[in-house]
Amino acid sequence: ATAQIGVTGLAVMGRNLARNLARNGFTVAVHNRSPERTRSLIAEHGDEGTFVPGESMADFVASLERPRAVIVMVKAGAPTDAVIDELVPLLEEGDIVVDCGNAHFADTRRREEALRTHGLHFVGTGVSGGEEGALLGPSIMPGGSVESYAKLGPMFEKISAHVDGVPCCRHIGPDGAGHFVKMVHNGIEYADMQLIAEAYDLLRAGLGAEPAEIAEIFRGWNGGELESFLIEITADVLAHRDAATGQPFVDVVLDRAEQKGTGRWTVQSALDLGVPITGIAEATFARSLSGHVDQREAAQRAFPDAGEKWQVADREAFIEDVRRALLASKIVAYAQGFDHIRAGSQEYDWDIDLGGTATIWRGGCIIRARFLDRIREAYDEQPELPTLLVAPYFAEAVGAGVPSWRRVVADAARAGVPTPAFSSSLAYFDALRAERLPAALIQGLRDNFGAHTYQRVDREGSFHTTWAGDRTESPA
């Protein structure tokens, strides 16, 4: 046995992760259900490091040093269970199975519990950054036991992306914590992309600008507080022209956004935990809406001219308004995402370090951004921060952006330009800061039709009013 770590599942992600490990000096056992993939990896990249190919799962497991560390990088769902079932009888107490696929955290919790009864460690690990990240340095979010991280941590930290010399990998917490954090990361990615798309749409409608001009605006924004991978590639995509037609690329792409399901998982989990992640939810629903073609066509016919003509008087001021509104809405989306992580951490006893999580998203992943440093600072200074919105840096950015935010959302509503994420983020902000919410009326209605009781502003306890009778109030 010579290999320090093994990878089974050598499609794009597994192959690149195995190459990344080998290029960093680790001896890597490699295996795939269909052995052709293993052979092609060795034929094409065998000279990049030390690989130990295994034709059968038994050969593969036998080539690993103890305690064994086996990365499973196969299609998420039933294939992951099939591979685990094949692996378990071949492993011994203390060995580690690492699932780097996009598993749902509930599946990870189930698998971790099952493997624990065999004396095995199961490490659900979120890996972000796609194909290129896997090869050149992803952001890695491992869950599982502290003992398993002692073996995996040095390897994962070495192959992950690094920012300012700090690895974009840290132990997130027990069992499903890593996959949970990866799920919320993807949810935030949904919100971030929807906000960027709305900003583009606003600029196009408000300025009557061409995509190439808007690309320049995004390029400019990337030099400031909004600096991020997504803003950078937005400029790139908007500037691109379709070779076949000479049209702007965005104008020849069908306007129906797809999803693989992590946005949906994030929203489902937030509903279970009672966390209002409205930005992520609106972003997920906006993708669904874009796909409802029949409804869209029917509504276009029924309401051909629903908005007013939009005429922006001061173009520079408008661009700055959109930038500030984008930043404020983005802060809301991240604040909600981190609230979600905190709620998951409390529910499942994971003890997740929120600032540390922001640190490992600074590189390697899709939402990498300058702004994540500010999130880390905010939680480092005040671990019990009630919401990111009130941390000094964010409070200032949001406060300074409020007039712009209101103008943009109001103007867009008048012009009939949809801004679900911008406007719901503003509504969330206004609801959080409101002195009184109409929730009081909801409580009254619930007591009226269902005797659900209510509490009072001036006395302790729960009360009920006899609505159908003499309307006297009594303690419940």
How far apart CA 195 and CA 91 sit, in angstroms, is 47
As to burial, measured by CB atoms within 10 angstroms (0-12 exposed, 13-18 middle, 19+ buried), residue 158 is: middle
Residue 261 interacting with ligand NDP (CB under 6 A): no
| Residue 34 in contact with ligand NDP, rule: CB under 6 A | yes
Concatenated DSSP letters of 336-389: HHHHHHHHHHHHHT----HHHHHHHTSSSSTT-BTTHHHHHHHHHH-TT-S-GG
In the complex with ligand NDP, which residue's Cβ is closer, 33 or 241?
Answer: 33
Listed ranges 3-11, 106-114, 348-356, 400-408: which one lies at the site for ligand NDP (CB under 6 A): 3-11
Q: Decide if 310 contacts 417 (C-beta within 8 A).
A: yes
Nearer to ligand NDP, 221 or 265 (CB): 265
Residue 142 and residue 179 in contact, taking contact as beta carbons nearer than 8 Å: no
Does 410 bind ligand NDP (CB under 6 A)? Our answer is no
75 near ligand NDP, judged by CB under 6 A: yes
- What is the contact mask toward ligand NDP in residues 81 to 120, using x (rule: CB under 6 A)? -xx-----------------xx------------------
User: 66 or 75, CB closer to ligand NDP?
Assistant: 75
Cis peptide before 420 (omega within 30 of 0): no
Tokens of 47: 């000279």
Q: Where are the alpha helices (DSSP H) in 88-159?
A: 105-116, 130-136, 146-159
Residue nearest to ligand NDP (CB): 101
Q: Choose the binding region for ligand NDP from 104-112, 124-132, 333-341, 420-428 (rule: CB under 6 A).
A: 124-132
Pick the catalytic residue from 112, 157, 182, 330: 182
Q: Is 267 annotated as a binding residue?
A: no
CB neighbours of residue 134 within 10 Å: 25
Catalytic residue from among 189, 198, 225, 282:
189
13 near ligand NDP (CB under 6 A): yes
- Residues whose CB is less than 8 angstroms from the CB of residue 275 and which lie 6 or more positions away in sequence, other chains included: 336, 339, 340, 343
Give the integer Cα–Cα distance in Å for 166 and 234: 27
Name which position in 7, 52, 57, 74 contacts ligand NDP (CB under 6 A).
Answer: 74
Q: Choose the stretch contacting ligand NDP; rule: CB under 6 A; options: 123-131, 246-254, 317-325, 419-427.
A: 123-131
Q: How many other CB atoms are found less than 10 A from the CB of residue 474?
A: 8
Q: Computed from CA positions of residues 38, 39, 45, 46, in that sequence, does the dihedral angle turn out positive or negative?
A: positive
Per the DSSP assignment, residues forming a β-bridge with 53 are 30
- The region of 32-40, 227-235, 363-371, 414-422 touching ligand NDP under the rule CB under 6 A is 32-40
Angle (deg, nearest 10), helices 420-433 and 177-207: 110
Identify which range of 68-76, 171-179, 227-235, 250-258 contacts ligand NDP by CB under 6 A. 68-76
- Binding of ligand NDP at residue 140 (CB under 6 A)? no
Active site residue 182: yes
**Rule CB under 6 A: is residue 445 a binding residue for ligand NDP?**
no
Instruction: Give me the least distance between CB of 181 and ligand NDP, in Å please.
Output: 14
Count of residues engaged in binding ligand NDP, rule: CB under 6 A: 22
Task: Tell me which residues are annotated as active site.
Answer: 182, 189
Residues in touch with ligand NDP (CB under 6 A)? 9-14, 32-34, 37, 73-76, 79, 82-83, 101-102, 127, 130-131
**Per the annotation, where are the binding residues for substrate?**
102, 128-130, 185-186, 190, 260, 287, 446, 452
